[in-house]
Structure 1
Amino acid sequence: MLNDEPDPRTPPEAAGDPPARPNGWLLLIYRIPSEPTRLRAAVWRRLKGLGAIYLQNSAAALPAGPAAERALRKLRREIIEMGGTAVLMSCGVLVGEAEVLAAFQAARDDEYEEIIDKCQDFLAQLEKEYRAEHFTYAELEENEEDLVKLRNWLAKITDRDVFGAPKRAATLEALATCEHALEEYAARVYAEEAESQ
C-alpha cells in the first residue's frame, strides 16, 4: 500500500499485534411504535448493517468511534422522526466486558462464515463451468462480477471487525483461493478463445 495505514485484509494477529481491546462502547436504547412493523425491521437492518450487537431487546451496542457515533446519532434522529424514542450513550462495561466482546466477535465470525460459504459456492460455480466447458468472456465477466461482490462484502465486514475476529484469516484464505481459481479460469478462457480464432 502507498500510505502508512495497515492493510485491512491483514488480521491483527498476522501483523504480530494482539487483538485490540474496546475503548468504550456506544449504546443505543430505543423504542419504536409496534405498527407498522416495517419500522422495527428497518432499524434492526440498519443496526445489523453497522455491526451492532443486541445486549437485549432494543439495546444495541457498537465499539466507540467517530464513524459509529455519527451513524448512531443519525439513526437516533430517524427513530425519533418515526415517532419513537431513543437515547445514545457512551459507556464502559464495568463487569461482563468479555461477554460483550465475545458477542461482538461471534457476530463478525458469523458474517465471515457466510463469506466462506459464498466462496465455496463460487468455486462450485467455476467447477460447473469447467464440466460444461463454458469458456467464454461472458461467463468470465459474470464470475468476475461475483468475485467483486465478495470482495466488497468482505471489505464491509473487515471495517466492522475492529478487534480481529478469529475467522478473519480463514475468510481471507477462502477469498484468495477464489481469486486464484478465477485467474486459472481466465487463462483457460483466453486459451480457448485464441484457439477458436
Structure 2
Amino acid sequence: MDAIKWLLLTYKVPAEPSSKRLALWRRLKGLGAVYLQNGVCVLPKTDEHVRRLKVLENDIAAMEGDCVLLETIALDRRQEDKVVNRFKADRDEQYGELLGRCRDFETEIAKEIAIQKFTYAELDEEETDLKKLEAWFDKIRKLDFYDAPLAATAAERLRACKALLDGYAQMVYDAHEENR
C-alpha cells in the first residue's frame, strides 16, 4: 500500500488584527485541514488543495506573516493512522452536530403533528430546514477524505428525516383535501 501524501502548512501571522488570523483559520478548516498544533495543519495532497494553499500562502504574506508549504508522508503506518484518525474525528464531530440538528428536525415535525398544524406554510418551512440539513451533510461529506464512522449514520438519519417530512407532507395534503 502506498503511503498517503499530505500537504503540510506551517504558518505564523501577526496576533493583531485577530480577525485576519481567525479568517485564515476558518478558511483552512473550510478546506478540511486538520491542525496538528497551532499554525501547523495538514490536508491530503490533491491538485485542488495545492492550488488553494498556494493562494493562502499569498494571503499570509499579505498579512505580513510567513509560511512553509511542504509535501510529506508519515514516518510509519502508526503515524499515518494517527493523522487519518484526526481527520475522521474532525468529521465525526461535524456529523455529530448534524445528527443533533436532525433530532431537532424530528422533534419539530412531531410537535407539528401533535398540534395538527397541517399548513402549506409550515410544510414549506420544514422542507427548507431539510434542504439546509442536506446541504450541510454534503459539505461535510466533501471534506470527509477518509470515511469517518458517523458518515453512514448521518446519511441514514437524513433519509429518515426525508421520510418523516414526506409523511408530514401527506398529512398536510390530506388535511387540505378534507377542507374542500
Q: How would you bin the TM-score normalised by the shorter chain?
A: over 0.9
Deviation at 1:25, TM superposition (A): 0.4
Partners of 2:48 and 2:136 lie apart in 1 by: 18
Partners of 1:193 and 1:74 lie apart in 2 by: 54
Q: Which residue of 1 aligns with 2:134?
A: 151
Q: Which residue of 2 aligns with 1:38?
A: 19
Give the alignment partner of residue 54 of structure 2, picking from 73, 76, 80.
73
Partners of 1:23 and 1:196 lie apart in 2 by: 62
Contact 1:21–1:163 (Cα < 8 Å) also in 2: no
Q: Which residue of 2 aligns with 1:190?
A: 173
Q: Which residue of 2 aligns with 1:89?
A: 70
Deviation at 1:168, TM superposition (A): 0.7
3-state SS in 2 of match to 1:164: coil
Give the alignment partner of residue 55 of structure 1, picking from 36, 45, 70.
36
Q: Which residue of 2 aligns with 1:6?
A: none
Amino acid at match of 1:112: Y
Q: Which range moves more in the overlay, 173-182 or 160-169?
A: 160-169
Q: Which residue of 2 aligns with 1:116?
A: 99
Q: Which residue of 2 aligns with 1:140?
A: 123
- Please list every run of 5 or more consecutive structure 1 residues that lacks an aligned counterpart in the other structure: 1-19
3-state SS in 2 of match to 1:61: strand
- Please list every run of 5 or more consecutive structure 2 residues that lacks an aligned counterpart in the other structure: none
Amino acid at match of 1:162: F
Q: Which residue of 1 aligns with 2:10?
A: 29
Deviation at 1:23, TM superposition (A): 2.9
The structure carrying a bigger helix percent of its residues is 2
Amino acid at match of 2:59: E
Deviation at 1:174, TM superposition (A): 0.7
Amino acid at match of 1:55: L
Deviation at 1:132, TM superposition (A): 2.0
CA RMSD of aligned residues (A): 1.5
After superposition, the Cα gap between the structure-2 partners of 1:21 and 1:128, relative to the gap in structure 1 and judged at 3 Å, is: farther
3-state SS in 1 of match to 2:155: helix
TM-score, normalization by structure 2: 0.94
Q: Which range moves more in the overlay, 39-48 or 176-185?
A: 39-48
Q: Which residue of 2 aligns with 1:9?
A: none
Deviations 1:151-176 (A, max 9, x none): 11111111111211111111111101
Contact 1:22–1:63 (Cα < 8 Å) also in 2: no
Indicate the percent of aligned positions where both proteins have the same amino acid: 42
Amino acid at match of 1:164: D
Partners of 1:132 and 1:81 lie apart in 2 by: 56
Runs of 4+ aligned structure 1 residues displaced above 4 Å come to: none
After superposition, the Cα gap between the structure-2 partners of 1:22 and 1:132, relative to the gap in structure 1 and judged at 3 Å, is: farther
